[in-house]
Structure 1
């Protein structure tokens, strides 16, 4: 292999001594990881640290428990400030937060972009970017999502434009991400390396390819919002149906372990590969009254969550068994974690007053009073039909609020209005508790980047934990923000060379997964641009830090 080397046995041993001083078990030595030839990254979306501890303690996830016995379990791992799927996965594969990666949500806003129909970049700037299930061509003109592969191409109405070196240029998801990915680095610096990933949206996750557009050799095109032809319903309608969708990803991994691509065609085994699973997330969101979510603040799973964890652990067992069958287990590092958690676990903290944040902004003229902004106003009533409004600002809410003002000179006035309406009584925004905050100005810029550059929201509102800005009866939990339950995640790094399982309680961020992937493959983590810029460290306790 042609590798860029950085980590030596000496630096790993010295690192182990430093870890001993920091209270981390000093048993991690370089020899534990030196035989690693590939990394398998698995995201069980929604997996909290408490889920891991509970299921291992109760022996309800025996396959994950076996991985933990030859691995390191991190009990204090968190997302870097935002917990939507885009920034959550970006943290794992770039080593960066939204500040350097530029991904805040799958639905966001960029003041520098032009509408998809403005192919000369001569009109107004400011576009509501939507890279979700409608990014596939099935979503064109608001059409039904009838194909598992999203229709087999990009929806041209979903692709905005940017002026690049004087040329009006389409901005695909891989152009939208601002930093490179582990897939690009591995392909560039390990001769013959192959990469693969499978996720929930067929075309919105094109950004995993990185700015080169070529980072993932085998990017499985699977769309969870598509209609299952067997049932004529969406895979998201119940967690047991979501299992069927997740099984496509299990099949893709097993194909790849067996030297085929996700479709079954002959290919080499990937050097870095992985997938996400949605079953647990769907079970967590389901209303408690219908068996979803958790029974108490101690993360006691309700029937659906318990069933989802059983399914995920069984799927994990199938994947590990295939690695062993093909004699690849002893050379594969397996990382089990999550893009995000889910909030609130404690149903007694749930507050659903509707989207009071958007209503307050509209009522005070910071956004259009009739809600006609961005993709909220389209001809079909669906996102990405090409008729969204330009230069209007936007707000994105779940259990957080991201606000792009239509007039940035109104920042001080908007913040004052928000602060004057913090209570949960209408028109309040439920942000009056000690864990809530309104982030703006220099504090926001230092953490997430300067809004004046176009991508970063002007204001971020973190409401009280448990608040979801919706009145929907279809879900009792959400993610995207920085509440404890959607930011505190499970994280287990397993390798057969680790003889004794151990626990690290030091606070870590999920951004540390990406440089760790490169470190175990003997590559310099600073080949990742976000790692270099944010000075992201590899995970402690593995013998590869220095």
Structure 2
């Protein structure tokens, strides 16, 4: 039988058997894969470059300013219409890539969100009021306990107990760590379960908030690099996000981790370890450069995504870093067995700074003025004693989370019609207006919201999602001119390249619309594992990316 196997778009194979990519690891009858020929895919390297728009990829390749990304494109498939699934914060953005699901199934809406079913961390018997502002960010590490300074790169080496809410399970009041909070399993767990002798690794921006990558088992990632981007860089006295050149220092830690892992070490380089079956990292440098004020050469200079000085330098840095990782794969003779995926958790908005509007957080101010949240004008952990995640926040208050989107959890869900009416009566960009009066803005609630994101009555889904006019950021801060989190055009349209560095592919472009949820089943197909082992893939019917094929 010919070993020429082609994997075509899922749509063309509806109702028929889909052959795994290169049958990289065929099933051995025990749910595990085994090597199948010299060209088997044995490793997948997933790289997320936060803020990487599709237009950034097209422009830098066309200008020959990202030669290493261009080489990956020449040996793979480039998707020109890849999008996030509805929300673009880092949590739902990364969850899409590693669960195959949207917030509806994975249950992650933001790194700061709300859950009506949870109890405060201090309520160790779960006897008090329910409803807690769940904060899984830089303050999830123990350094932040009691409002402490983030002085350690590893976040202090443990969880901040004041950041861990509680839930009732089988009559017991138990802590809810980030890995307990995600509602579906992750691709790391599936790989560990179904690929013989597999190892997994990941490096990201928050040392303890990203524990959810481990999945509900708590053990999905063998080597989860505990690095905190908001910790203090002792060389500068500032955290790693103050300027993109400082962020490069942080991202270089992750580049070193990947190279160590390619070299048969753990992420620290201090112990021998098998090369991971699935590993990857996240870059923050581009995101920081995009957010930087235009007056300081941040962001873009026109409507054609021409990068400002900071963005151009950041793209050059990321390209060089990717080149180093790919070069190491080749040095270690791993290129022919490694699939490399370059994409992003989210984009950034607005790239056209003529559309930028920063009137402050008028959305929250409006809701508070109408007493739709806490009667004292506070909600969740706002106005607490020491810091956002010190465990003294109010319970049962509802919450608003805003960036260039507004997620609203009401204190009293029966007030939904009144709240929606209030929002619709204040759509313009006035003192109390929410800047949502344009054709690309919307207020999502009721049955339509439930169909896309899940039923708010179950506790975690917001009651209302407000997408303001593109360019609106609910802040008055002068430190940033771009943000993400919502579904503005520049938030969700991302770069996506699936590549084989040995050159087995000749560059191909797929122009049909895809979503980043399709990356996870693509990874499993490449490793010879049934994508339906991912709960979100099965629940949402997520298909692997179309257009991939290989000659074995």
- TM-score, normalising length from structure 2? 0.94
1:416 corresponds, among 412, 421, 429, to 421
- Alignment partner, residue 508 of structure 2: 502
Q: Per-residue displacement from partner, 1:396-425 (whole Å, max 9, x unpaired)?
A: 000000000001110000000000110111
State how far apart, in whole Å, the 1-side matches of 2:129 and 2:355 are. Answer: 43
Aligned equivalents of 1:291 and 1:57: distance in 2? 22
Contact 1:363–1:369 (8 Å) recurs in 2: no
| Preserved contact between residue 178 and residue 211 of structure 1 (Cα < 8 Å) | yes
Question: Structure 2 CA distance, aligned partners of 1:254 and 1:239?
Answer: 22
> Is 1:50 the equivalent of 2:58?
no
**Which residue of structure 1 lines up, in the alignment, with residue 184 of structure 2?**
179
1:213 and 2:218 correspond: yes
3-state SS in 2 of match to 1:339: coil
Question: Structure 1 residues 470-479 or 371-380, which shifts more?
Answer: 371-380
How far does the alpha carbon of each residue in 1:265-287 deviate from its partner, in whole angstroms, 9 at most, with x for none? 11110000000000000000000
Q: Distance in 2 between matches of 1:371 and 1:163?
A: 29
1:375 matched residue in structure 2: 381
Deviation for aligned residue 1:191: 1.3
Which digits, 9 at most, give the CA deviation of each residue in 1:162-192, with x for residues without a partner? 0011110000000000000000000001111
Of the candidates 280, 287, 300, which is equivalent to residue 281 of structure 1? 287
Contact 1:44/1:278 (<8 A) preserved? yes
Match of 1:112 in 2: 117
User: 1:343 aligned to 325, 339, 349, which one?
Assistant: 349
Pairwise CA distance, 1:543: 3.2
State how far apart, in whole Å, the 1-side matches of 2:375 and 2:62 are: 52
Which secondary structure state, in structure 1, belongs to the residue aligned with residue 381 of structure 2? Answer: helix
Match of 1:152 among 134, 140, 157: 157
Number of aligned pairs?
529
1:28-87: CA deviations, max 9, x gaps?
A: 984899621110000010000000000000000000000000000000000000000000
Pick one of 282, 297, 306 that aligns with 2:303. 297
Distance 1:519 1:436 in 2: 37
Give the C-alpha shift of residue 19 in structure 1.
5.4
Return the alpha-carbon distance in structure 2 between the equivalents of residues 237 and 136 of structure 1: 20
User: For residues 415 and 295 of structure 2, what CA distance do their matches in structure 1 show?
Assistant: 42
Residue aligned with 2:134, SS: strand
SS at match of 1:334: strand
Cα 1:9/1:408, change in 2 over 3 Å:
farther
Partner of residue 3, structure 1:
none
The answer for unaligned runs of 5 or more in structure 2 is: 15-19, 26-38
- SS of corresponding position for 2:315: helix
Is the Cα–Cα contact under 8 Å of residues 443 and 465 in structure 2 kept in the other structure? Answer: yes
Give the conservation status (yes or no) of the 8 Å contact 1:79–1:488: yes
Assess if the C-alpha contact under 8 Å between 2:360 and 2:475 holds in 1. yes
In the alignment, is residue 163 of structure 1 matched against residue 168 of structure 2? yes
* 1:143 matched residue in structure 2: 148
CA RMSD, 1 decimal: 1.8
Of 39, 45, 57, which aligns to 1:40?
45
- Give 1:318's match in structure 2, choosing from 302, 309, 324: 324
Note if contact 2:21-2:526 (Cα within 8 Å) is conserved in structure 1: no
Q: What are the superposed Cα offsets for residues 434-459 of structure 1, whole Å, 9 maximum, x if unpaired?
A: 10000000000000000000000000
Helix, strand or coil: the match of 1:228?
Answer: coil
Do the aligned partners of residues 282 and 16 (structure 1) sit closer, same or farther apart at CA in structure 2, a change above 3 Å counting? closer
3-state secondary structure, aligned to 2:390: coil
- 1:518 counterpart = 2:517: no
Residues 1:259 and 2:264 are matched in the alignment: yes
The alpha-carbon distance between structure 1 residues 14 and 103, as it changes in their structure 2 partners (threshold 3 A), is closer
Shift of 1:498: 3.5
Partner of 1:94: 99
- Do residues 249 (structure 1) and 249 (structure 2) align? no
Indicate conservation of the 8 Å contact 1:183/1:272, yes or no.
Answer: yes
TM-score by structure 1 length? 0.95
1:518 and 1:508 map into 2 onto residues whose CA distance is 17
